[in-house]
Structure 1
Amino acid sequence: MNVKSRAFAGALVGAAALSLSVMAPVASADPAAGDYRVLAGVGSDTTQDVMNGLGESVDGGTLIASYDATGTSPIKTREDGCEIARPNGSSQGITALNNDIDAGTGCLDFARSSRGVQTAGTDLTWIPFASDKLKMAVRQDGPLVGVNFTTAQLKAIYECTVTSVNGNPVTPLVPQSGSGTRSFFLTQIGNPTLGSCVGTMQEHDGRALTSAAHIAPYSVAKYTAQTGGLIEDVHGATVLNTIDGGEYSRPVYNVVETARLSEAGIAGTFVGAGSKVCQDTATIEVYGFGTVSDCGSTSLKGEN
């Protein structure tokens, strides 16, 4: 059974519990103008759509406001003030949350993140809520379809010391700076020094693969939701290839200020297995993500 079939077979079990609004394609995670909810978050492209689904599903769409990684900027998260530049990706989202905490403006409550802690500390807490997988996207009309990339091979490709696979040219693309997928992927392949052959793309937008030689890391959850018609389909002409015979697995998080963990709104929404986000497994699964046994854990802390 292929990735798409496997993910949707599991998702269909929970789909009956979802409202029709969750099953409909999602154009943007941004709430409508003037719709200011209790908790506002920004950051990861990987999890923006599932957090949009949770935003509509949990408490009837009144609790969670999640703003897309891309779109018009600035965004406005509160009725009074709180116009901020739109953060694109996990690291920019976490930086925006840190800046908001330092300024005491109260414009943000959480940051979406598809990568873990980069700097040790205790100011922020990474709360896992789902799992994702990463594979390599290639063009379906090119000669790289079916290639099982190895970790060592990918490191050399991104260092530009390997420029062909099975005699076919290969040109690597990497997500934009600040992307959690970029950070996670490069760590998985050994933190290579990127060579001059490496191009940059908006993560999980397969339309950027314009050459038969292009390859790029791609979220399986995003691909499943795109090709399944749940969200805007920007997978282009891509298919997903395995890495080391499988894929890289990773948890995804909502990051909050550690000092606010005991607040009723934060705790009830994100903290513990009984939290509203952790309990809504149907929404999490229908967007292609897996559930995690430590959903709601507050053990992972850091600065950024």
Structure 2
Amino acid sequence: MKIKKIVALSAAAGIALAGLAFTPANAEPVANSYVLVGSDTLQDSTNALTNGTSASGSFVRILSNGTSLGNFDAFGSAAIQTKPNGPFFGRPAGSGAGVNALRASITGNPYSAGGTNTTPAKVITGQVDIARSSSGPGSNANAAGQLLYVPYARDAVAYAYKGGTAAWATLTPVQLKQIFDGTLTTVDGAAIKPRLPQAGSGTRNFFLPAIGYASGTTVAPGVSDVGNATPENDATVLAEGEIIPFSVASWVAQANGVTGTNSTTVAGVQLGSPIAGTTPFTGTAPALVPSATYYASTSFGRDTYLVVENARVVAGAKFDAGLAALVSGTSASLTNFGSSASTPGAVKKKFGFLAPSTTTTQRAYLNL
């Protein structure tokens, strides 16, 4: 199904770009309407869109029938409450956890955040409406699937490192795989140690196949995952001589000062490029511009997604006009990528994203 098939639904939902006062991007109020959870990579731009921002030069805020959306960060308190009188449940940290929370919200099966989050499993029926995902459905893709992956924006993945030498700025995919295998422990005479974000991170799961691991690989021999709760896209986690995959869009957004925090200024931290002759971005902070050439890479460029229940955005008994409008691609939807300063697309560009490579949606998860 193409996004254009549900474009006309925005009017029915009454979504508007509201000229209201600025709301801090890091607030996590209980939602008056729909709730988003999941990917760290997408959270800052969706925070801006749901709470309101003038980053593009024109105030933009996405509402649904005049009510606010609830966008919950991937990291923070162990438990969150997303809707009035709803249960407190483990915060979904990353793309995989976000999709799992959406699945549990649909099925009524108990949800557990997993990993190092010890919040007890809870029934969260109806508590999550949209999952942010920095990766596609992969092997879960199915033409009759119950979930729908709607393209949000184009990102790319590189690697952040601390210290090292000039040679570390241009490590090849072959070298990176050896580093994450644990067989290459020094580069240009300097010791190097690989790290990965927490399990369930879309950036982690995308990066490993990009550097040469088999599709679906989520672990690397050179990285110990015991007790791993390392947040993605946070350069402060790096010790001297360490390297970790990093979203280019997140790096650009942080460096340009449109996010709540900026970890790119940590002493000795830089972003490297595994693509010969191409840098992930151009310019200098706070005016970095993502490289269209780098983002177009079939290995390191990636489309990102908002995931919803398919039955709620197509005609039928469960159809929800408000939710369908939020992923319709119109100028008043979260998935828009227009160029006008008053559109969500212009906001996403300020956060380091480019237009997705396609507007074609994908269904996934035949069984939830």
Q: Which residue matches 1:223?
A: 251
Structure-2 change in CA distance of 1:189 and 1:73 (3 Å)? same
TM-aligned CA deviation for residue 234 of structure 1: 2.3
Kept after mapping to 2: 8 A contact 1:36/1:65:
yes
Q: Which residue matches 1:269?
A: 326
Deviations 1:82-127 (A, max 9, x none): 3221110000111111111111821110100001114233011111
TM-score by length of 2: 0.69
Kept after mapping to 1: 8 A contact 2:42/2:133:
yes
Q: Report the residue type matching 2:257 in the other structure.
A: G
1:233 corresponds to which of 244, 262, 279: 262
Structure 1 distance, partners of 2:212, 2:222, is: 18
Answer yes or no: is 1:120 the counterpart of 2:129: no
Q: Report the residue type matching 1:189 in the other structure.
A: I
Question: Which structure has the highest helix share of the two?
Answer: 1
Kept after mapping to 1: 8 A contact 2:326/2:333:
yes
Q: Secondary structure, in 3 states, of the residue corresponding to 2:263?
A: coil
Kept after mapping to 1: 8 A contact 2:95/2:134:
yes
Structure-2 change in CA distance of 1:59 and 1:83 (3 Å)? same
Q: Between Structure 1 and Structure 2, whose CA radius of gyration is higher?
A: 2
Kept after mapping to 1: 8 A contact 2:167/2:188:
no
Q: Report the residue type matching 1:157 in the other structure.
A: I
Question: 1:1-304 residue pairs with structure 2 within 5 A?
Answer: 21=22, 26=25, 28=26, 30-31=28-29, 35-56=30-51, 57-59=61-63, 62-103=67-108, 105-118=125-138, 119-121=140-142, 122-139=145-162, 141-144=163-166, 147-191=169-213, 194-197=220-223, 200=228, 201-211=230-240, 213-231=241-259, 232-235=261-264, 236-237=266-267, 238-245=269-276, 246=278, 247=294, 248-262=300-314, 263-272=320-329, 276-277=333-334, 278=336, 279-292=343-356, 294-295=358-359, 297-302=360-365
RMSD of aligned alpha carbons: 2.6
Structure 2 distance, partners of 1:249, 1:19, is: 35
Question: Which structure has the highest strand share of the two?
Answer: 1
Structure-2 change in CA distance of 1:18 and 1:241 (3 Å)? farther
Alignment gaps of 5+ in structure 1: 1-16
Kept after mapping to 1: 8 A contact 2:133/2:305:
yes
TM-aligned CA deviation for residue 143 of structure 1: 1.8
TM-aligned CA deviation for residue 40 of structure 1: 0.3
Q: Secondary structure, in 3 states, of the residue corresponding to 1:158?
A: helix
Deviations 1:222-268 (A, max 9, x none): 11221222221123232111112245111111111111113211221
Alignment gaps of 5+ in structure 2: 1-17, 52-60, 109-123, 279-293, 295-299, 315-319, 337-342
Structure-2 change in CA distance of 1:83 and 1:157 (3 Å)? same
Work out the percentage of aligned pairs sharing the same amino acid. Answer: 34
Kept after mapping to 2: 8 A contact 1:271/1:298:
no
Structure 1 distance, partners of 2:151, 2:191, is: 38
Structure 1 distance, partners of 2:103, 2:128, is: 9
TM-score by length of 1: 0.83
Kept after mapping to 2: 8 A contact 1:267/1:275:
no
